[in-house]
Structure 1
């Protein structure tokens, strides 16, 4: 039997046997049937993109692990969006960006957040103070109560992390 047929059968069985359960599991965690349905579908899309059938002893644990990651991403994005919209609410009317520009900025913020995921909080803070606020290393060191050499180490870690995330 061709590999794609085996995988299709695996995916169809997994979906048929566990979609309803996964949707309910997500509904309990989101309090929104629409978000739960979207996240359940996204979970199966992730499985589909793996393109390999697995011998699963615990299919619900497998699906819950994928869904949990998507749920974290969902809440992280919602938090970024709220913070961005709060910042926009303080702008004078003529400076408020168009809906298209807002969507582009939000996507960029989500991508930056994804890129910086995995950095220790202090490293991320130093990086953002440098790159977004334009502070010098001595200014960052003073603000964070650290030495300049610590900030240099943090920045090296942050740039290395970003390089690996983008190019490796």
Structure 2
């Protein structure tokens, strides 16, 4: 089973993906590890599309089943047919933004308040993340909704602030349906 979990930043695709991968005993991959090149300041240098795709495909190649968390919407047409199930996670804006504030502080600490450049980057990220629901950016609700209609696989949409366990059960139920239909 080749599964992709995606949504806005802070929707929980990484957390849910790691949980589901542990439950299914399959590897988890995060698109950020391929989208962003290693740099002194994390998440500031993008890899070219061809390079990130080649790296991710090479990492996935040894496995029959895997989970990718994060957005693949701008990664090219290959991903529209490479999946067995896509799971779109949508969390209400205020909850998502609070999660991101906490994550940013946990990830970077006080430097995002004390270093002017890091503060600028943090503020730009938070503005970008806040525009998901209403913006017309490369990774927005409108873009994700359109992309879902282009996928060849089933798409499960989970809207709301569910627990990891509740989401896992919804995803597992959809996986069971897909497997039973294939038999």
What range describes the TM-score normalised by the shorter chain of this pair? under 0.3
| Bigger CA radius of gyration | 1
Q: Normalising to structure 2: TM-score of the pair?
A: 0.22
- Tell me which of the two structures has the higher relative contact order, counting C-alpha pairs closer than 8 angstroms and 6 or more residues apart: 2
Q: Normalising to structure 1: TM-score of the pair?
A: 0.24
Larger fraction in helix: 1
Larger fraction in strand: 2
